[in-house]
Structure 1
């Protein structure tokens, strides 16, 4: 079996016959694609510099780093950065998530079992129960918690000292965090979408780890279709790898033509729109004359939940200029009409329309 630069056996997936072994290899792929240090991490240069300073200062002073909040859209590397914080300081890492902590007792069990210097990563921290959030205030500030023993008039509060730890919280909606919790983080990093040059670097590194031979033009084609998100870039690269293995006779190479054919097969167009994105835009353009159309009406028309449309689809369509939100509903822009090859309003929206 071949070995990646991170020491992970990659193997030839085509020769696998055991489904369990195949699953293990796919998990190894996922682990191999994650950078292990800030030096390997591509993009987010400002955040990397800030984190490097914070971690280096903590090491020099022989203390635990300040608590860190990582905010930004999904797929930009929040979990990876949490792993790097632990790895760079040679500290153990404990991982949990906000939805899994629905009672103060759940959080108390996690906090009381931490060892000195451990990094606690809580993904989607804004979804924790309110009682757990209130317990976290004291734990972050004074490294202790108060546990209630007994019920009713005989209940007493027992203080429990905690080992010093670093909390790394990740959130896609920082506005939902209560101010007392947000203010207790010593450093807040706001992750931005990647540009195409950075995504090409991400893809080149991933292709090397996946032992996929791919040219620069093909990398640029993938980079232009992955919404500025490394997670999507790596996912599309793996689909290109699969296509190259199947249609290239197992040669393990991909050119721009195979990239375009693979992405067309998986319904990813030149702007990165997928099936649901196009369904939303085509519904607005063809059924409602470009809008305005309300969110609930739009969701029913495409057969999806309104929360999915609002949280998953709309942010990207608005960011690339195909859709505008107005008080009267969603409106397609002239650029959307041109992209879908339809005749429609060519004039830009006026201030009265917004």
Structure 2
């Protein structure tokens, strides 16, 4: 998909199952320039230097790898790179590239100076990944025509372009691919004060009156993630318009987030279901990930990739060689007494040497 680097690009790159109005609002909240982008000061400064130097030389910027948890702005930064360079943005994702031919088709349509954004680049198929090495380094790909002994490799020269890769799991990228990125930036979780700035900006765009205590309440439940902060703001806005005076105060935000089942730590239904299953069904663990997923009625990948990272960061869950365990803080957060004989399996606090899929 090719998107021009203008305002339209920020309304076309949206996803999910929300209706069109919701997706349009979400896109409208995206910053358009590095100056508008809130937080990540060091990364913004580094990225600004890379882009300004490339523009001064009249050349495409080096390939850029952006890593970090979901929802911190990797896609938005890719769009900003294209906008700052004044070039079109072409978008694809790792799961969509399963064969080398898929990648060759995309690369053959790239024009001089384009920015090619690869979301979830760590999920690209290995044959395509190996083709990408020469495309990024030598701006050339070899297209194989025919099969068997009669197959012929036809070299195809590519125009200079900038690859922007986004990944939530840098460790899954092979070394040769990481080495071909000229700049690597990691996005950190946001502090509450930074999220408040995000919310104030978004409230202005949404024309919502957001009081200081309201922004503080929402920021504290946003799990350090701007995407979640903006989503909660929209839901609190709905509550304020229907059940309050359209003004988002601290009390209104608390009432709204209670309705939408987001507690004071930012835990939602799935998070609490995982902790409740650990504490009530398995006496705090350890329990294997597969068994835990069955207990909460979710897929293993959903528990591992959606709920578990935040629960670990919040100190409510620990990953041990024997399985997942609930920490004393988890019992306390659920309003349960911490049993004296809570067993941490002898591995609490140890490195997660392997993933216990269906441990004891």
Is 1:97–2:101 an aligned residue pair?
no
CA distance in 2, matches of 1:62, 1:86: 14
How far residue 347 of structure 1 moved from its aligned partner, in angstroms, is 9.8
Match of 1:221 among 174, 199, 217: 217
Worse overlay, 180-189 or 305-314 = 305-314
Match of 2:228 among 206, 221, 232: 232
Q: In the alignment, which residue of structure 2 is the partner of 1:150? A: 146
Match of 1:51 among 36, 47, 60: 47
* Structure 2 counterparts to residues 308-327 of structure 1, below 5 A: 308-327=302-321
Q: Deviations over 1:266-313 (max 9, x none)?
A: 110000000111111111112222222222221121111222111111
CA distance in 1, matches of 2:292, 2:127: 37
Q: Evaluate the alpha carbon distance shift between residue 320 and residue 23 of structure 1 in structure 2; reply closer, same or farther with a 3 A threshold.
A: closer
Q: In the alignment, which residue of structure 1 is the partner of 2:252? A: 258
CA distance in 1, matches of 2:177, 2:227: 28
- 2:65 is paired with a residue whose SS is strand
* Structure 2 counterparts to residues 145-184 of structure 1, below 5 A: 145-184=141-180
> TM-score normalised to the size of structure 2?
0.88
Is 1:208–2:204 an aligned residue pair?
yes
- 1:341 is paired with a residue whose SS is coil
- 1:169 is paired with a residue whose SS is strand
CA distance in 2, matches of 1:279, 1:116: 50
Match of 2:333 among 332, 339, 348: 339
Is 1:127–2:123 an aligned residue pair?
yes
CA distance in 1, matches of 2:7, 2:83: 16
Aligned length: 334
Q: Evaluate the alpha carbon distance shift between residue 247 and residue 117 of structure 1 in structure 2; reply closer, same or farther with a 3 A threshold.
A: same
- 1:134 is paired with a residue whose SS is helix
* Structure 2 counterparts to residues 243-282 of structure 1, below 5 A: 243-248=239-244, 252-282=246-276
CA distance in 2, matches of 1:26, 1:342: 38
Q: In the alignment, which residue of structure 2 is the partner of 1:13? A: none
Q: Deviations over 1:75-117 (max 9, x none)?
A: 0100000000001111111111111111111111111111110
Checking the alignment, whether the CA contact within 8 Å between 2:286 and 2:345 is kept in structure 1 is: no
Match of 2:132 among 136, 142, 166: 136
Q: Evaluate the alpha carbon distance shift between residue 253 and residue 60 of structure 1 in structure 2; reply closer, same or farther with a 3 A threshold.
A: same
- Unaligned residue ranges in structure 1 (runs of 5+): 1-5, 9-21
How far residue 261 of structure 1 moved from its aligned partner, in angstroms, is 1.3
CA distance in 2, matches of 1:331, 1:28: 41
How far residue 28 of structure 1 moved from its aligned partner, in angstroms, is 3.0
Checking the alignment, whether the CA contact within 8 Å between 1:334 and 1:346 is kept in structure 2 is: no
How far residue 342 of structure 1 moved from its aligned partner, in angstroms, is 1.1
CA distance in 1, matches of 2:77, 2:223: 20
Q: In the alignment, which residue of structure 2 is the partner of 1:113? A: 109
